[in-house]
Amino acid sequence: MSEPEGREAPRRRANQEMLTNEQLNPNVLEVEDLRVRIASKRGVVRAVDGVSFEVPRGEALGLVGESGSGKSMTLKAVLGVLPPEAHMASGQVRLDGTDLVRLSQSTLNRVRGPKISMIFQEPMSALNPVMRVGQQISEGPRIHLGYSRARAEERTLDLMRRVGIPDPERRYRAYPHEFSGGMRQRVMIAIALSCEPEIILCDEPTTALDVTIQDQILRLLVRLCQESGVSLVFVTHDLPVVAQVCQQVAVMYGGQIVERGDVHDVLLNPRHPYTLGLVRSAPDVEYVQDSLRPIPGAPPSLIDPPDGCRFHPRCDFAEDDCRTGTVPLRLLDGGRATRCLHYERCGEALAADRAAQGATQ
Amino acid sequence: MGRMAFVGRRLLQLIPVAFGVTFIVFFMVHLIPGNPALSILGIHATPKAIAILHQEWGLNRPLWDQYWLFLDRLFHGNLGESLYYGQSTTSLVFSHLPATLWLIIYAAVLAVIISVPLAMTAASRQDGLRDQVVRVVPLVGLGMPSFWLAFLLILLLGIDLHVFPVSGYGSGFFGHLRSMFLPSLTAALALSPVVIRSLRASMLTVLGADYITTARSKGVPGPRLFLRHVLRNAVIPAVTVLGINIGFLIGSTVIIENVFAIPGVGQLMINSIFQRDFPVVQGVTLVFAVLVVLINLLADVAYAALDPRVRFD
Amino acid sequence: MSTVSLPTGTEPGPGAPVVPSAAGRRVGRRWYRQPALMSGLVIIGLIIIAAVAAPLLTSYNPTTQNLTASLLGPSAHHLLGTDQLGRDTFTRLLYGLRVDLRIAFIAVLFPFVLGTVLGSLAGYFGGWVDVIVMRLVDIVVAFPFYVLVIALVFVLGPGERSIYIAITIVGWVSYARIVRGEILVAKRQEYVLAAQSGGLSSLRIMGRHLLPNVISQAFIYAMSDIVQDILAIVTLGYFGLGVPPPTADLGSMINDGQNFLSTHWQLTTIPGLAVVLVGLGLSLIGDGLADILRPGQS
């Protein structure tokens, strides 16, 4: 997180607000115009280019897109754990109404854990290999909640049971390499839950796992959220997963959000050609088609994105006005939003697909 | 249980090494071109003296017998008798050992004190100014003869400043501390380029690791993050590196003791070479090998203790 | 599961030609644009030229003594002054570089060849061959480098031949380890399996297919090994065990000069500086090569 220059007073005030703010806000997380730049030898990569979304309390928001669309960077920027070559160029991240960007590192550290936490994609490498698993889980409560060792251990065992780790007393003293992938991910979930945060950021938590384990972990996450009312931001490239876990979904492409809305609504009635393409190429989504159709072409360069709509080089419906200027995200009715100027074409294509399907059956 | 088996296995692997090492030491004498006895005793040796030497060392017998004889005497702690001093080699070596051990330990400690902060600084901001500066150190340092470095240090710190003595071992604990500072510093500086380079690399790997991001996302504050997460993981490859290079440190004592006139095993070796005192040269070479092997074993054990993944090999 | 994952964002930009080398590795950047490699080559190039052109650069003889001109400071006649026997330091420096560099460059070949051969055999065949070779490695490595080199040179007698033998016996180990490691990885590659199933003899597979890919790492190491060899030669010279006097040698120059450290420090300092410079140049070349030959570097 880039620290803003100058003025101590606003920062001190922001720090105070953070620590005393109660749940006045219907949205637990609000992200506004987030931009993340990465310095690379080939130029400045605009990994996240003006992303905004809200996460209501108790709900799960899915962030869907392919590799390189900026989903992971978005999460990392929110939490302030961007890699050193990346920095947040602008934007606001409001957790319970307080802008995280304006906080000092030490205050931010006190927020991470008790209010917001994260689950990572690779459980193999995301756990400290030389630290016992129990210690890694109890580290949060000991630092943030001031628990004694005994009390933290108790809480850890409890968490381990909640996430479904068998024989917790023995496993407490084990090291990460003694666990299977699915178990490690459960440990990660336990860590994320350890200080009872209000929102958990999930970066493709099941992508690296076996198919059978994936389902278990997803069900676990859904159950835990329902039980404790924790919100989620769930990043994935997998449409059926998003449908299973989230209420709302935002589709990302080329560092921007291109469509947003209720998850079933978006998947059954996509209003952006990219979403349409995703849905058409996903074999398991409840959709009417009998053949997979991948989206032709390659993702856009994030150093030098195309003019106009970033998807236009690959879009079947592209018109002249798609190729120039900037295309804003427009709000539609029913809580939907889209960045496509000609989104009705998606509906038409949909109807055509269904008709074709109907004809062959 | 796993740990004991690990150490046990390593010890077992040492047996052929022990044979090989002793064989090389033994065989060194036979590498001497021409008549070994003549070389040892000098060209003025009488035939009688040569005959006695042949008898004593069994130079008439086949090679394997001689080796066996050598091993047998070795087992009884007999490394032969110094031609120059007339003492047993073993007693000579042991009397010279403390100074060398001082040098090694002092130098290792100084090397760690020098290398760790530099590596840390370099790794914390990769490709930053400090990193670039630190990366120059190995480039220049690796090509530096240690005795030349010694002279440089003597010039800069010893002669002009008169703070540290430039020769001798000193007496008493603090006397040693003072007298051994320059030599140990030289050895440490000679060792540092390699250690800095490896430490920096391993720290960069650790700093970029996913579990550090996890820890940050947990809100682990800076100092604790560094100690319990970064350092705790970075020491593991560092121990390996140090272990590998300790051999080099031990070998450099030969040079450094000579430059600084320290009565250690290294100086004993060089002097014996000039005095053509073969038994002592043999004995000292063997002792050096033993030192290296012991320290490497220690490093391996430390590595196994630090890295829980190893035990379950 | 859905298959939308296409290759990620940034495409390779212009100006980075990807040229497959004969050994199948990708040589990413233009090698002459590498600052490390180029500066290293420049330094070494200049030093080698100076050493080779020694007779042209100085009219003095490195071994002629002139006791009336002993211990002179730098002047127009003697660029770096003279030593205690009246020999011109600049001349001795150039001729010393000549001798030491020549020996070092030759000395690095034997361990390179021996180590590569043994390492290949150990890595490719595994089993008993591997065990024996690795035991030999352990045995040699048990001795500190300088101890064994000095002891061997002492035993074998002074002269160049002893230096080559001693360095070979001690130095093959690193090459063997590197090559063995590389081959262990490489032999699992598919092109090796293809060659094996095609019925090629092991020797042919090792020589034609594995070795060219593997040798680059050994070559990079050779750069730092030359530096180590130069240090060894200079150290031996310092102890009077290397090149016998009166031949000019950087090590013996440092030894000669140590008695005059407080008054004529340049006698000791300059030869060492030359060694450091050579080391710097070679290290830069080594680093530069390592950067270029690193596989798949973007």
Return the pLDDT at B130: 82
Task: Indicate yes or no: CB of C1 within 8 angstroms of CB of A42.
Answer: no
Return the pLDDT at C297: 37
Cβ-based neighbours of B112, under 8 Å, separated by 6 or more: B195, B242
Top pLDDT among A15 and B238 is at B238
Contact by Cβ (8 Å): C245, C62: no
Calculate how close chain C gets to A301, using CA atoms only, in Å: 5
Average pLDDT, chain C: 78
Confidence of residue A1 (pLDDT cuts 50, 70, 90): very low
**At A148, is the secondary structure helix, strand, or coil?**
coil
Token pair belonging to C35: 């600052």
Q: Beta A231-236 vs A199-203: how paired, if at all?
A: parallel
Q: Is the pLDDT of residue C191 over 80?
A: no
Token pair belonging to B80: 């032969």
Q: Which residue type, as a one-letter code, is found at position C203?
A: L
Q: Which residues of chain C have a CB within 8 Å of the CB of B16?
A: 135, 138-139
Task: Indicate yes or no: CB of B220 within 8 angstroms of CB of A83.
Answer: no
DSSP per residue, A12-57 = HHHHHHHHH--S--SEEEEEEEEEEEEEETTEEEEEEEEEEEEEET
Domain ranges (residues) in chain B: 3-75, 92-306
Calculate how close chain A gets to C12, using CA atoms only, in Å: 8
Token pair belonging to B146: 């240690």
Contact by Cβ (8 Å): C251, C238: yes
DSSP per residue, A74-119 = HHHHHHT---TTEEEEEEEEEETTEEGGGS-HHHHHHHBTTTEEEE
Q: Is the pLDDT of residue A2 over 60?
A: no
Closest CA to C271 of A261, B143, B166, B296: B143
* CATH superfamily of this structure's domain C80-293: MetI-like (1.10.3720.10)
d(CA C234, CA A204): 59
On the CB side of B182, how many CA atoms lie within 13 Å of its CA? 32
Each residue of B89-109: pLDDT tens digit?
888 888 889 889 989 999 989
- C39, C130, C146, best to mutate vs chain B, most B CBs in 10 Å: C146
Return the pLDDT at B44: 65
Of C5, C11, C298, the CB nearest to A237: C5
What is the dihedral sign for C-alpha B140, B142, B147, B149?
Answer: positive
The percent of residues in chain A predicted with pLDDT above 90, rounded, is: 29
Contact by Cβ (8 Å): B107, B177: no
Query: Helices C250-257 and C89-107, interaxial angle, to 10°?
Result: 140
Each residue of A288-321: pLDDT tens digit?
455 566 777 888 888 888 888 888 888 888 888 8
**Is the CB of residue B148 less than 8 Å away from at least one CB of chain A?**
no
- The domain defined by A24-115+197-285+293-361 folds into Rossmann fold (3.40.50)
Query: What value does the mean pLDDT take over residues C142-171?
Result: 88
Return the pLDDT at B28: 81
Q: Please identify which residue in the block is written with the tokens 């032999």.
A: C187
Top pLDDT among B288 and B40 is at B288
Give me the phi and psi of C23, to 5 degrees please: -85, 5
Q: Which residue type, as a one-letter code, is found at position A145?
A: L
Each residue of C44-58: pLDDT tens digit?
888 888 888 877 777
Token pair belonging to A15: 């720090």
Query: What value does the mean pLDDT take over residues B148-164?
Result: 74
Cβ-based neighbours of C115, under 8 Å, separated by 6 or more: C171, C172, C173, C174, C175, C176, C178, C179, C218
Burial (Cβ within 10 Å: 0-12, 13-18, ≥19) of residue C260: middle
Q: Is the pLDDT of residue B3 over 70?
A: no
**Is the CB of residue C152 less than 8 Å away from at least one CB of chain B?**
yes
Top pLDDT among A310 and C211 is at A310
- In sequence order, what are the beta bridge partners of A40? A43
Q: Which residue type, as a one-letter code, is found at position C130?
A: D
Of C5, C6, C13, the CB nearest to A42: C13
Contact by Cβ (8 Å): A292, A283: yes
Quick check: bond before C246 cis, omega within 30? yes
Of C147, C272, C275, the CB nearest to B251: C147
Return the pLDDT at B232: 87
Contact by Cβ (8 Å): C69, C86: yes
Return the pLDDT at C298: 34
d(CA C54, CA A29): 75
Contact by Cβ (8 Å): B177, B164: no
Q: pTM for the whole thing?
A: 0.75
Task: Indicate yes or no: CB of B307 within 8 angstroms of CB of A130.
Answer: yes
Token pair belonging to B40: 């040892």
Return the pLDDT at A361: 53
Q: Is the pLDDT of residue B40 over 70?
A: no
Confidence of residue B41 (pLDDT cuts 50, 70, 90): low
Average pLDDT, chain B: 81
Return the pLDDT at C114: 94
Given CATH 3.90.79.10, say whether it is the number of domain B92-306: no
**At A306, is the secondary structure helix, strand, or coil?**
coil
Closest CA to B147 of C145, C251, C146, C264: C251
Task: Indicate yes or no: CB of C155 within 8 angstroms of CB of B255.
Answer: no
Return the pLDDT at C23: 41
d(CA A136, CA A160): 12
Q: Is the pLDDT of residue A7 over 80?
A: no
Q: What is the DSSP letter of B29?
A: G
Query: What value does the mean pLDDT take over residues B41-67?
Result: 71
Q: Is the pLDDT of residue A172 over 90?
A: yes
Instruction: Name the closest residue on chain B to residue A173, using Cα atoms.
Output: B308
Sheet holding A231-236, edge to edge: A116-119, A199-203, A231-236, A60-64, A248-253, A256-262, A337-338, A330-331
Each residue of A122-136: pLDDT tens digit?
888 899 998 999 999
Each residue of A257-278: pLDDT tens digit?
999 999 988 888 888 888 888 8
Confidence of residue C164 (pLDDT cuts 50, 70, 90): very high
DSSP per residue, A239-289 = HHHHHHH-SEEEEEETTEEEEEEEHHHHHHS--SHHHHHHHHH-TTSS-S-
Token pair belonging to B68: 């066996």
Task: Indicate yes or no: CB of A298 within 8 angstroms of CB of C2.
Answer: no
**At C84, is the secondary structure helix, strand, or coil?**
coil
Q: Please identify which residue in the block is written with the tokens 């960069």.
A: B204
The length of chain C in residues reads: 298
d(CA C57, CA A153): 78
Each residue of C235-245: pLDDT tens digit?
998 888 878 77
Helix, strand, coil abundance in chain B, percent, nearest 5:
80, 0, 20
The percent of residues in chain C predicted with pLDDT above 90, rounded, is: 14
Task: Indicate yes or no: CB of A120 within 8 angstroms of CB of B214.
Answer: yes
d(CA B173, CA B177): 6
- In sequence order, what are the beta bridge partners of C82? C88
d(CA A105, CA A103): 6
d(CA C279, CA C44): 9
